[in-house]
Amino acid sequence: MKVWRTLGDWRAARGGLAGRSIGFVPTMGALHAGHRTLLARASAENDCVVLSIFVNPTQFNDPADLAKYPRTLEADLALAADLADHVIVPEAAELYPDNFNYRVTEDSLSRRLEGAHRPGHFDGVLTVVLKLLNLVQPTRAYFGEKDWQQLRLVEGMVRALLLPVEIVACPTERESDGLALSSRNRRLSPVARAQAGQFPRILRSAATAAAAMTELSQSGFEVDYVADEPGVRLGAIRTENVRLIDNVRL
């Protein structure tokens, strides 16, 4: 596994991969078993696997949330060592030489759900994903279905901008009690972590989105939203000031 910390070095290395299929897994680090699943699938389906680790500042509308985001680079590299061939660890100044003056904006889906509660979030997500896709030029890029809205928006961006990459959606990895794996889970106290297992259970069992919101509130969660989209129910809650999102198939 080779680690590239400057874009110039990475571009030179990328030139040596011509003719090989590349599977790309973009992340913000704090890797867990869910990320290993993405890397394993990329490894199985491509000649070469590229992982990026970058805590993207432009997708945080709350500076405190950005400051709290876990940065565990050495542990991340150890977790990925047997699956990733190349790891890109860029600096924000290199990825944003324009200071985010140029950005990607979607004017429909990105305004609802997560977008309504995190203004500007998806501008940051789509912009950094586009930059990374341009840098890596992968055959396939792998995204988890836990971030359902992000996945749909990335798929739409790829279609709209005619990008030559296949977006591969991978099922959500869960803990034994059903809670979706997330870097945010490690910020929960043992009590809140035990309680959080109710989140996916209620999303799945409630008769309606409104009923799910009521039951989640009664269970002690602060509920941002629960909403039904075609074939899927999405929700976002807060517990101990930690925000969790999830979705389940209907």
Alpha carbons 110 and 120: distance in angstroms, whole number: 9
Contact 129, 163 (CB under 8 A): no
Dist CA 56 CA 26 (whole Å): 11
Q: How far is it, in rounded angstroms, from Cα 222 to Cα 239?
A: 7
> In angstroms, rounded to a whole number, what is the distance separating the alpha carbons of residues 27 and 148?
15
Q: Percentages helix, strand, coil for the chain, rounded to the nearest 5? A: 45, 20, 35
Tokens of 212: 């799910």
Q: In what order do the strands lie in the sheet with 2-4?
A: 2-4, 86-88, 48-53, 22-27, 140-144, 166-170
Q: Which of 35, 86, 117, 121 is catalytic?
A: 35
Instruction: Report the candidate in 160, 108, 167 with the shortest Cα–Cα distance to residue 132.
Output: 167
Annotation says 32 is catalytic: no
Q: Which residues form the catalytic set?
A: 35
